Structures are given as structure tokens and as C-alpha cells.
Structure 1
Amino acid sequence: MNLEPSIDLPATQPRFEIQPIDPPLPKDIAVSIVVATYDRPQDLAACLTGLVQQNSDRPVEIIVVDNHPASGITPAIVQQFPQVKLVQEPRQGSSYARNAGILVSRGAIIAMVDDDVRVPPDWLESLLAPFSRPEVIAVTGHILPIELETRAQKLFEHHYGGLGRGWNRREADRHWFQQTRWFSPPTWELGATANAAFRATLFNHPQVGLLSEFLGAGLPIGGGEDTYFLYRVLRSGGTLVYEPSAWVWHCHRRDMTALCRQVYNYRKGHVGHHLTALLQTGEWRGLMNLLVGINVHDARRIYHRLRGWSAYPIRLVLWEMLGTWVGPWALGRSYLRVKRLGFSRQPPVSKGRSLSARDSIPPSPP
């Protein structure tokens, strides 16, 4: 059975063209694209179809990380795309999976997308263009909804804020990182690893390294790995560019039960991000976010709903508040799980079979 769905352009595609302002990245710079997946065959097939059809002349490797090898679902999809590499990571967690892909990547730049996004043909080159400037070490792109058909999808996009960050370009650097005296820098306003790229050298940088495996989907904490990673990227002193011309489509949750679970996990991950930053880097400003910022945000949502100024349900606010209270306990559970499963390490070389996170390959070129 062919599990590859039609990839007609969604109705939410932009009705105008927005071009990168930076010159193209030289074509001899190789790129790796890491896609972590957990038993989403139709979404993965659609995602890979767009990735292999990119308008790019540069060396590109596409790496799919199967985060549930025991199911046997993902290899059948990857086999439909001979140019795609398959990596197996049995330890469940989005950070485990992405790190497994990073460790076997050969590109000087490593891009990441979620398995439930679809990419237009010019996505990759638009995402890479800002790297033509040497001070840029990370780029994030816009994330559009692939459809807005159900109440849950509309609530998430219009009242929660969705995953996109708008059509205005912006940059964040050390000055941006230090601009707030009492609150932690809002890295969640800069995009997400569902659509991002990084210089490969970052993953060996002493202040950055791999994604934190205490955080992320698939662990009790439920998320937070991307905002904490962007925090560490900016803390290292480089420049991050939000490039809206590098847009993708994302499949929002269709039903309210899934949306409740999503905002609950997002809030747990938000708490986990701040607590991890505090414990690992001494970032005390996150305490103000947890003690003041989140509570003011929730109170404002409830007030606006009661006054009829917002359609965001109080039910969703309560799920977010529950995520705040559960967050510290969930982070502790995640820590214990990672301590039992172990951290990812630079692997040994493996040829002629699917690679695992414990296999290795020469490091990325400088």
C-alpha cells in the first residue's frame, strides 16, 4: 500500500512572495536535514516528499530518526526515498531523536523540521541565506497552519498564538539576550526547532552542545527543549535570525482533547526550560517568569474571557495552569529517566546498515 499522501498546496499558503534579504549561501556548503519521527507514516511521507524536491544545488543529506524502531513502521516509508538515511534511536524523546541525527550528520549546517510539517520548494535556500553572514549561527523560520478547519485548530492559531512568529524579520544577539533585567529572555518568540537551522560547530560548543535530553516531547516534561536550546545559542554570543521567507506548513491538532494535552505539555516544558536554565546556568531571571509572568498571563486570559474580549476557553487556561504546577515534578521524573537511559555521546562508525545513536561518523566539517 502506498502511504504517500497528495501534497497539494494548502489553502493557507502566502498569497505574496517574500524574499530573503541576504545573498545566497555558497553552493559548496553542505547541509544536513534532521527529521525526528515517532510512528507518523503519512505525515513523514508528505514531509520527505517536500524535502527531496527542494530547489537546491548544494550537497544535502536527509536523515530520518526513527524514535520507535520496535514498531517497524518508519523503515517502510523511508525505503520509498532512496536518498534518505535512516537512524534508529530507541530511547524515547524528541531530544534523544534529534541528537541522534545530529551526531551522524556531515553537513556544515544542520537543519531541523518536525515530521508533521510540509515544506515548499524554496524553503531550504531561504532558511540558509542568513548564514552568508559569519556572525549568524542560527536561523529560524515561519510556521503556518496547514489547515484551519476545526475549533481546536482555530483556537490554537488565533488565540494561543500558533507556532508562527509573523512576517517581520528580526534578529537576536547578545544585546537582545541581556535587554531584560528582571525576566528571562523570551526565546519562545524566536521560532522553534520545527523549522530551524544551526551551524554544526554549535553542537560542540562548550556553552551549547547537544539538545538537553531532560527536556522535550516523549518525556514526562513534555517539551521545552527548543526554547532552552535557543537560550543557550544566544547565551554563547552569536546572532540568531528569524527569516519569515523560510516558511513551512504545520498540522495543528484537530480536536479539543489533543489541544488540551498540547497546551498542558507546552506549559510543563516552559517551566522545565526555566528551571533547567536556573540549575545549569544560574539564570535566576526565569524565576520571575515562573512566579510573576506566567500567573499574570493566566489571570489576564481568564479576565478577558469573562469580559467577553476573548474566545480562548477557561478550560484551556486551567490545563496550562495545571502544567505549571506539575512542571517541577515532571522535570524531576524526566531527569530520573535520562539518568537511567544515559546521555547521547559521540558514536563509533557504522556502515552497511541503519545507524543507531551509539554509532559514529566523522565530525562535521568546520
Structure 2
Amino acid sequence: MTGFPVRHIDLSAVRTDKHPGNAPAFSIFWWKDLPLGMRASLPDELPFGEAQLRQFVAEYAALQLAARSPAFGAPLRATFEGNPKPALTMAQVLEAGDHLIEEMDLLASATAVAAERVSIVICTRDRGEALAECLKSVTAQRSAPGEIIVVDNSESGNAEPICRRFPEVRHLREPRPGLSVARNAGIHASRGEIVAFTDDDVELHPGWTGEIARAFADESIDAMTGLVLPARLDTPAQCIFQLGIGGFGSTFVPLRFDHRFFDETRPNGAHVWKIGAGANMAFRRRLFERIGLFDERLGAGAAGCSEDSELWYRLLAKGGACLYEPRAVVFHHHRKDLHQLRRQMRSYMKGHVAALVAQYDEFGDRGNVARIFGQLPVHFLKRFLKGFLEGPRGRQETLAAEFAGWAAGLQFLVRSGWRRQRAPRLISDGGMQ
């Protein structure tokens, strides 16, 4: 799989596609600042014709109006797989006629909500160059956050010189290894009513903080996640992660995840990983007092991954609600080579199994065990057969690593001391217990 140059197309302004048609491309479509969709195209599918661009507008407008306009049935709730239920036909959109552009402009309007209630926490470990690029995008936000905290999880504290370049940034040393440990340290140090997280290998859209603040204007929302787009797709490994594995999701309309989604999916292991990604998430600070902090047994530097999805599981199990709002956009730099990608996928699967064990121990939901011993083995078998019949491409490149991660995760079933631990809690004065 070769590289796919990433390009951004604003359908509110573009009428003709300037692509020369001699190379593949990964196109991300927008209506001004509103993300609409994306697609990978081979050279013989490019450039897009004028009629095709108009068709894209109609298709994407149907999705956005159904999800965001109460007149068309919004808001949408997540289905079993975390996808929106269709609520608007193309014919209904076309009936809007001249009002379509006006409606889309209204949906795409930038928010005026201030973000001073938002504390941004960025956890980093030995990735100075990436951190510097991340902080450039953080300090360029249209709506300035209340504070920016970099939690330095390196052994030497090597993020401090980088943080000194940015006067707005507070450097916090956390020598205990582990992403969950670092995130909890950031929560403990933060002062904002809303705590937003992103990663050091991410760059933020200029409207990110404003969209987070706008989402939390709804008092019924306890947490939110946003859209994670690829920053670049230059290498086969980056393309495999985005196109073969699915990246960090591809939903471009807002979805509410609450007790209905949890109740529907609970018997089969609630698919909370569909809610979003830890590279783009935020929480009300008071939520951590109610349900606890990140489980320090999970995440990079510990079991491997899924500290974010396990927290969402707790949130939904205890009656909370999480909004997925793709207006809040970040751009993620995927792993560049196959060795790094395989290591990442092994870690992801190991952490996923560990989180399923932790969720079962906390709530007794047998669907978590059924996923470990039923759904995941079936998934591996299907992928193997697909690769045997069609050849090793796409996700087949990481199948052995994912299987190895699953096998490594089984150890957590027999580690009684590990299984007795629980996530720490944030007490009202800001401390932890």
C-alpha cells in the first residue's frame, strides 16, 4: 500500500477539483470549519467532476442536517456499533433547494463560546519534536484555554526546555511511568471545570477549545470526544492504520452515548471504544469525584491501552452521558513504519483485554468475558481467512501482532492482586485517594 497525500477540500468554496489525476489522494471534505467526510481515491478516480462534488455536498448535507437540525430529527443516538441511525433521505435534502447552503453555513458557523473554563492536559514522554508542534497548535487556539499543563513522564524531564518556549504552558514532572498515572497527575494539578486531553503526537484545529466549551454548554453532558483525522499518510504503515484498520474512527456527525447505548450493547460487551479516542477527549472535573480517575493498571506504560474506554465504560454504567462531537478536530501523526505499527497494535490488543477484565471485575458484566473468548477469536479467524483468500494486505499486516497482544492480555485473568485493584478517586479538595 503506497502513500496517499492528504488534501483538504472546502465544498462551500470549491467548484472544480484541481487534482492532476496522476497520483492517489486522501481527501478530507469540509464546509468551512465543519468536517463532513473523507475518502481515499486512486488516480483513475481523480479529479472529482463538478457533478460529483455537488453529489458530495448533497450526501454530506443530509447527514449533517439529520444530526444537527432539530427540524430534521436531531439529535441522533448511537446504535450498537456506535453509528448514527439514518433519519433523513436524500430527497428531503434536495427539497431544501436554495435553503441548503444557508442551512450548511449556519451549521458551520464558528462558536463564540469562551474556553477559559477548559484546562488542557498533554502527557508526553521522550517526544520533544512532536510536543513542540503540538504546543504550537495549542497556543494558536482562537479561544484561549484557562490553562495548559504538560505532564512530563520522561525519566530525565526532557520536556521542560520545550515548555519554556511557550510562556502559557505549565510544565509538571511526573516520574512514575504510565499514561494513566500522568493523566491523573494532570487532573490533580488542573483548576478548570473542564479537563481536556490530547496527545503529544497530535496537532489541534484552531477551533478545538471553542468546540469543547460549546459542547459542555449542555449540562447533561459529562464527557465528550472529538474527531481524529490523519495528519499525513505518507508511508504504507500510516495507510494501513488509517485505511486498513480504520484509524481512530470515521464518523462525521455528533452522537450521544448514554444509558440506552450501554443497555443495548452490555450483554455482548459494551462497545465503548466506539465512543472516541484518548487523543481528543474532555471531562467535567466533578465527574472524577463521582466515578474515579483513570485506572493506573491500564494505558501505555502499564497494560498497554484502553484506559480511556474503561473510563467511558464506568461513566455509562453509572448513568452518565458522553457526546461525540466531530466539530472538535485534531490531526494525529500515525506510526511511520510497520515495526512501530505492529508494536502499537499488540499493545492496543493487550490493553483491550486488560480493560475487559477490569470491567468484568467492577460490574460483573459477562459480555466482557464473552468478548475475550468469543468475539475476539472469531475476529482473528475471519481476518486470517480473508488474508489467506485475498492476500496479506491492509489489516493482515498486523494480525499476528494483534493475536499476540490478545494472548498476552490473558495473563490479567490470573493475576489476583492486579484484579483486586481499582482506579483512584479525586476527592473534593483536589487530592486523590
Do Structure 1 and Structure 2 share a fold, with TM-score over 0.5?
yes
Instruction: Give the conservation status (yes or no) of the 8 Å contact 1:139–1:243.
Output: yes
Q: Give the counterpart letter for 2:393 in structure 1.
A: A
> In 2 relative to 1, CA 310–143 (structure 1 residues): closer, same or farther, beyond 3 Å?
farther
Question: Offset of 1:312 from its aligned partner?
Answer: 2.6
Kindly indicate whether residue 224 of structure 2 is the aligned counterpart of residue 127 of structure 1: no
Structure 2: unaligned runs, 5 residues or longer: 9-27, 36-67, 69-106
The corresponding residue for 1:214 is: 297
Instruction: Output the CA distance in 1 between the equivalents of 2:199 and 2:249.
Output: 14
More RCO (CA 8 Å, sep 6+): 1
The corresponding residue for 2:71 is: none
The corresponding residue for 2:53 is: none
What are the Cα deviations for residues 332-352 of structure 1, in whole angstroms up to 9, with x where unaligned?
77966998xx986769xxxxx
The corresponding residue for 2:141 is: 54
Question: Offset of 1:158 from its aligned partner?
Answer: 0.7
Question: Offset of 1:127 from its aligned partner?
Answer: 2.6
> In 2 relative to 1, CA 344–65 (structure 1 residues): closer, same or farther, beyond 3 Å?
farther
Instruction: Output the CA distance in 1 between the equivalents of 2:333 and 2:417.
Output: 30
Q: TM-score, normalised by structure 1?
A: 0.84
Instruction: Output the CA distance in 2 between the equivalents of 1:314 and 1:271.
Output: 20
Question: Offset of 1:11 from its aligned partner?
Answer: 3.6
**Structure with bigger gyration radius:** 2
Question: Offset of 1:93 from its aligned partner?
Answer: 0.3
> In 2 relative to 1, CA 26–146 (structure 1 residues): closer, same or farther, beyond 3 Å?
closer
1:63 equivalent among 142, 149, 154: 149
Q: Give the counterpart letter for 2:239 in structure 1.
A: K
Q: Give the counterpart letter for 1:94 in structure 2.
A: L
Instruction: Output the CA distance in 2 between the equivalents of 1:37 and 1:272.
Output: 23
What are the Cα deviations for residues 340-365 of structure 1, in whole angstroms up to 9, with x where unaligned?
xx986769xxxxxxxxxxxxx9549x
The corresponding residue for 1:292 is: 374
Over aligned residues, Cα RMSD in angstroms? 2.8
Instruction: Give the conservation status (yes or no) of the 8 Å contact 2:122–2:200.
Output: yes
What are the Cα deviations for residues 112-139 of structure 1, in whole angstroms up to 9, with x where unaligned?
0011100021111123322111111111
Question: Offset of 1:82 from its aligned partner?
Answer: 1.1
Instruction: Output the CA distance in 2 between the equivalents of 1:28 and 1:245.
Output: 15
Q: TM-score, normalised by structure 2?
A: 0.71
What are the Cα deviations for residues 22-50 of structure 1, in whole angstroms up to 9, with x where unaligned?
99585376110000000111111111111
Question: Offset of 1:251 from its aligned partner?
Answer: 0.9
- Please give the residue correspondences for 1:67-146 in structure 2 after superposition, counting only pairs within 5 Å: 67-68=153-154, 70-146=155-231
Instruction: Give the conservation status (yes or no) of the 8 Å contact 2:115–2:143.
Output: no
Count of residue correspondences? 335
Question: Offset of 1:186 from its aligned partner?
Answer: 0.5
Question: Offset of 1:330 from its aligned partner?
Answer: 5.8
Instruction: Output the CA distance in 1 between the equivalents of 2:289 and 2:208.
Output: 26
> In 2 relative to 1, CA 29–42 (structure 1 residues): closer, same or farther, beyond 3 Å?
closer
Instruction: Output the CA distance in 1 between the equivalents of 2:419 and 2:122.
Output: 23
> In 2 relative to 1, CA 115–301 (structure 1 residues): closer, same or farther, beyond 3 Å?
same
Instruction: Output the CA distance in 1 between the equivalents of 2:136 and 2:115.
Output: 24
Instruction: Output the CA distance in 2 between the equivalents of 1:286 and 1:91.
Output: 29
Structure 1: unaligned runs, 5 residues or longer: 1-9, 348-360
Q: Give the counterpart letter for 1:46 in structure 2.
A: E
What are the Cα deviations for residues 47-86 of structure 1, in whole angstroms up to 9, with x where unaligned?
11111111115x5200000001x32310000000111111
2:131 equivalent among 41, 44, 50: 44
Instruction: Output the CA distance in 2 between the equivalents of 1:48 and 1:131.
Output: 23
Query: 3-state DSSP class of the match of 2:239?
Result: helix
